[in-house]
Amino acid sequence: MLQLPKVIGHRGAAAYAPENTLASFQEARRRGATWVEIDVKLTADGVPIVMHDESLKRTMGVDRLVAETPRADLPAGVPTFEQAIACFAELGLGCNVEIKPCEGREVETAHVAVAALRRWWPASLPQPLLSSFKAASLVAAREAAPEFARAILLGKIEENWRARAEEVGAQGVNTNGIKLTAPHAVDIRKAGYALSVYTIDDGDVAKALVGMGVDCIITDAPDVILAAIA
């Protein structure tokens, strides 16, 4: 089975530092995380960057769509994927790379992300885990770079979960921990998939999920969850 850490810092350590920034990755490391989760999408000119939303407004205060912003116009706080990887190399952090394409760029974003990983991912770090809500992105990633493990992101486990995981050749299932039921957790693990849940910031909830067999908790507060499940 795919081996994952017990805890992954969501967007770095988003409870303590601005999400998906180099400061957030440093904070995650400082608070004990060995891996972080980031969201990768493309600028107008096809540069992979670390950003969750379609727009720069919420996190950067700039009312402009990422897909319409060239790299040269990016606010200073937004890391490129290359800068993020260099930061992980320095900090010794593994990464769950969520491919978060802007509408219509599912395949292109996956291709650019895996090309960047092939070029820049340091051999000293564990191989990254790719994940996405978009099947088209994971299929494109598998075709272009089958060596990177994949997890299908599912907002909720429905009856077709296994078909969706098989469609993208996933080794992992990443799902909303609040909606996960114990029978589904058992089924997913019995079928041989690594099971990760997002975004769990409460220690008691994390403990209950680990008790259900969850392998990995993705959290904004890695220190809280590490202490709770220790």
The yes or no reply on residue 168 touching ligand G3P (CB under 6 A) is no
DSSP classification of residue 74: S
The partner in contact with residue 34, picked from ligand G3P, Mg ion, none with C-beta cut-offs of 5 to 8 angstroms by kind, is none
Dist. CA 212–CA 207, nearest whole Å = 9
The residue nearest ligand G3P at its CB is 198
Shortest Å distance, C-beta 75 to ligand G3P: 20
69 binds, among Mg ion, ligand G3P, none (CB under 5 to 8 A by kind): none
Burial of 40 (0-12, 13-18, 19+ CB in 10 A): buried
What is the rounded CA–CA span in Å between residue 176 and residue 157?
8
* CA–CA distances in Å: residue 81 to residues 84, 157, 205, 230: 5, 30, 32, 32
Whether 52 is a known active-site residue: answer yes
Contact 79, 21 (CB under 8 A): yes
| Cα–Cα dist 15/138, whole Å | 28
Q: Which residue matches tokens 């077709």? A: 160
Check residue 128 and report its DSSP letter: P
Q: Which of 39, 106, 215, 223 binds ligand G3P (CB under 6 A)?
A: 39
Instruction: Rank residues 121 and 198 by Cβ distance to ligand G3P and give the closer one.
Output: 198
Q: How far apart are CA 228 and CA 46, in angstroms?
A: 41
Residues contacting residue 148 through CB under 8 Å, at least 6 positions apart = 114, 117, 127, 128, 129, 130, 141
Token output for 173? 């299932």
39 binds Mg ion per the rule CB under 5 A: yes
**Residues 83-112 interacting with Mg ion (rule: CB under 5 A):** 98
Answer with the entry of ligand G3P, Mg ion, none that 165 interacts with (C-beta below 5 to 8 A by kind): none
If one asks whether residue 174 binds ligand G3P (CB under 6 A), the answer comes out as yes
Residue 39 or residue 215: which is nearer to Mg ion going by CB? Answer: 39
Residue 218 contacts ligand G3P per CB under 6 A:
yes
Does residue 184 have an active-site annotation?
Answer: no
Minimum distance from CB of 96 to Mg ion (Å)?
8
In the complex, the smallest distance separating the C-beta of residue 60 from ligand G3P, rounded to whole angstroms, is 17
6, 16, 44, 52: residue in contact with ligand G3P (rule CB under 6 A):
52
Residues that bind Mg ion (CB under 5 A): 39, 98
Annotated catalytic residues are: 10, 52
